[in-house]
């Protein structure tokens, strides 16, 4: 698991059982050229003879501003590390608490799930499993 930098933006990535996962809180459909380059360097053995690799774009929570990508990337990694790489990342985080939570975890050297908002009342919630879209880069 790793956080990759993409020109003023951070994304979470992981590789498990040959599957390369990308969680991007901006929800971009494509993987940028800079992230593509880093993925191919990190996971060289998954690049085919044509210089391509397949990645799984993971459905995940979306940031509502231009400055929270780093804490969202950390939240995704903490979720993966604390639970599993098949964890549902499409959740409603308590954005107001995310930075404080990250600082606290780093100070205490703990990996704890990021705080979430409680579901609204009178709304039926269905269980959402992690879904991905496979793209070739």
Please write the tens of the pLDDT for every residue from 78-90.
Answer: 999 999 998 899 9
The pLDDT of residue 119 is 73
Helix, strand, or coil here: 48?
A: coil
- 49-88 pLDDT, tens digit per residue, is 999 999 999 999 999 998 999 999 999 999 999 999 988 9
Q: Give residue-wise pLDDT tens across range 95-133.
A: 999 999 999 999 999 999 999 998 766 555 444 445 677
Report field, pTM of the whole predicted structure over 0.85: yes
pLDDT number for residue 121:
62
For residue 14, the cross-strand partners are 21
| Residues 90/75, Cβ–Cβ less than 8 Å | no
- Residue 11's SS3 state is strand
Q: Where are the domains of the chain?
A: 2-136
Higher per-residue pLDDT: 39 or 126: 39
93-127 burial by CB neighbour count: b if 16+ within 10 A, else e?
Answer: bebeebeebbeebeeeeeeebbeeeeeeeeeeeee
């Amino acid at each position: 698991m790793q956080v990759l930098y993409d020109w003023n933006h951070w994304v979470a990535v992981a590789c498990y059982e040959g599957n390369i996962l990308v969680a991007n809180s901006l929800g971009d459909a494509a993987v940028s050229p800079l992230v593509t380059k880093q993925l191919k360097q990190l996971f060289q053995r998954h690049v085919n003879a044509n210089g391509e690799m397949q990645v799984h774009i993971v459905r995940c929570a979306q940031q509502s501003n231009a400055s929270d990508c780093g804490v969202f990337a950390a939240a995704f990694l903490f979720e993966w590390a604390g639970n599993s790489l098949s964890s549902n990342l499409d959740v409603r985080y308590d954005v107001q608490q995310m930075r404080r939570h990250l600082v606290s975890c780093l100070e205490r050297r703990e990996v704890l799930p990021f705080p979430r908002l409680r579901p609204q009342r009178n709304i039926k919630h269905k269980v959402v499993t992690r879904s991905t879209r496979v793209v070739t880069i």
